[in-house]
Structures are given as C-alpha cells and as structure tokens.
Structure 1
C-alpha cells in the first residue's frame, strides 16, 4: 500500500482525479468522505478502500511506519487560507486563522509540523504538485 499524503486542502482530491483519469487507478481514502456527491465520488474513485481494493490510499495523517508515500505539496500560505475558509463552512468549531497557523482549533497539526513529519520521513519518495 502507498499513501497519497497531504495536509488538508492541499490538492489531494485533484491528484486522485488525475491518477484515476490518466491511469484508471482508484485512490481510496482512510476517511469517510460521505459529503461527496456520487459524481465526484466516481471521478476520484472514492470507495472507502481497503488494502484489498487499492494500493493507493489518501491520508492527512503524519508520516508513520514504513509504507511508501506520494507526498503532495502546496504553498502553506495558500493551503492555510483555503483550509480556513473550508472550516468556516463545514466545521462546528470555526477556528480563527491565527489558531490554524499555530495548529490549534482542528484535529490537524500546524502546517509546518506536518511538513516536517513528511520531509524527514524515509517513506516519502515523491514530492509533487508544488503550487
């Protein structure tokens, strides 16, 4: 199994769509992306995959273990602002922007802590989609 790893709102869904559209490969998710429409679910190949269903699994978690990863990178300034706007719509907590910058108000760590976790991981072998 290979992780398709990214911080929230970094473009993981876009990459999943490209992989599915170009290679016909479904990228699963370790999350229940229940809010997605059936059309979007089919475009990205979402099916709450297990290891038996696909070799590629989306994650927003820290780098752990020895599984390989495609690590999606996006400019932290843009991703934090996008994540902030997303949380203002979908999160009951609605954290402030400065809280997100410190890694507070959400289950995710700070952007910089997340980057460090994958940057120093021996299992991250591809860095792509730098925008």
Structure 2
C-alpha cells in the first residue's frame, strides 16, 4: 500500500495512532494540514511527524508508505486506518481544543467545519469500507498489544517495539494536541446529553458505546 489515510473525527486519537506507528513500527506520518502540530518540533519528534516541504509536499523516507492524517470526509477510495472514539469524549476534547470559543452545544450539533460525530462516521463507513482498518481509541489506550497485532496485519509490517511514550510525558511538551486524561461527564449537563443522543445516539449504539 503506497498511500494510507489516517482518518478520524477530530480529537479521536489520531495523534496517538501516529505516535504508535512511529514508536512501534518505525513509520513516519504526515498530514494534509500544514503545521499540523503547531510547529512544536519536540512534539513532532514524539509523533514521527513529517512536515510539509516549502513546495507544499510531504516527502516520506524510502520504504515508508505515505501515511497521511485527515479529519476531512473521504475524497477517494485509498486504504485507510480509521480511529473512532466515544463521541461524547471527542466532543468535549474538541471544545477544549477550540479554547471553548464555540459552545459545547455548537460542537455537538456540528456547527463547525467537521460536522457531527455521527455524520463523519456515516461518511467514512469504516466498518464496511474496502481496505480499511477500524480501531477504537479506547482499545489503543486499553489493549495496545491487540491493536498492534491488528496494525501489523493490516500494514504487513513487523512490530519493532511494544512501548510508547507516556501520555503525561507527551502532554508535558504540548498540552493542546495531547491533553492529560479527563472525563466528558464533567462537561455534559443532562440537556447536552439529551441533545447529543438525539443527534448521535443511533451511531453510538452501532459503534458499541454505552449510553
């Protein structure tokens, strides 16, 4: 596979996936977004990030497939690794990433460039899309050995390490792209949860997330 999308709804574990690919498989990755990690070179080293060249291209090392991060809706049928995260946690994380400049309700309702959590999943359909590996963020965090085996099989690459940097260590050099652990329940009111369920409830059930 010459080119593979690293796709997800924003704040769903894409940066952590890229960190795993670098530390556990020795594979660097790029992004469709220039200065994707805010120009933080120390964070780029943790993630294995390849920045855009002056000409706007991402130049990968030899024998390194073009692993490209995107939060956009699919534009072609290229292979993909799609990371899904509990939509409530992703929404709160995106709200914080935007420095709460939009309300959490606006995030839930998709009043931003990436739309709703459910619509993003419906566009990619990672559970049935050809040449696509669906990974849960919760699995990446809670059962890394299993996730590594899935990645190894999909990428047809050997695992070179089973260790990744500590989350707090990475958050210490950034704090925006990688945050310390938090709980979405601290941000959701009953009214917000009801609205979230109206929009995303069916997809949450389909993806196996508890109410």
Normalised by the length of structure 2, the TM-score is: 0.55
1:57-88 Cα distance to aligned partner (Å, 9 max, x none): 00001122111100001000110011111112
Specify which of 48, 56, 63 is matched with residue 67 of structure 2. Answer: 56
Contact residue 37 and residue 43 of structure 2 kept, 8 A: no
Normalised by the length of structure 1, the TM-score is: 0.86
Q: Is structure 2 residue 123 aligned with structure 1 residue 117? A: yes
**Compared with structure 1, are the counterparts of its residues 88 and 52 closer, same or farther at alpha carbon in structure 2 (3 Å cutoff)?**
closer
Aligned equivalent of 1:73: 84
Equivalenced residue count is: 126
Higher RCO by CA contacts (8 Å cutoff, separation 6 or greater): 1
- Deviation of 1:109 after TM superposition, in Å, equals 1.0
Instruction: Note the aligned Cα RMSD (angstroms).
Output: 1.9
Higher strand share: 1
Gaps of 5+ in 1: none
Specify which of 98, 106, 109 is matched with residue 102 of structure 1. Answer: 109
Gaps of 5+ in 2: 139-211
Aligned equivalent of 2:15: 13
Contact residue 27 and residue 55 of structure 1 kept, 8 A: yes
Which of the pair has more CA radius of gyration? 2
Runs in 1 of length 4+ with deviation above 3 angstroms?
49-52
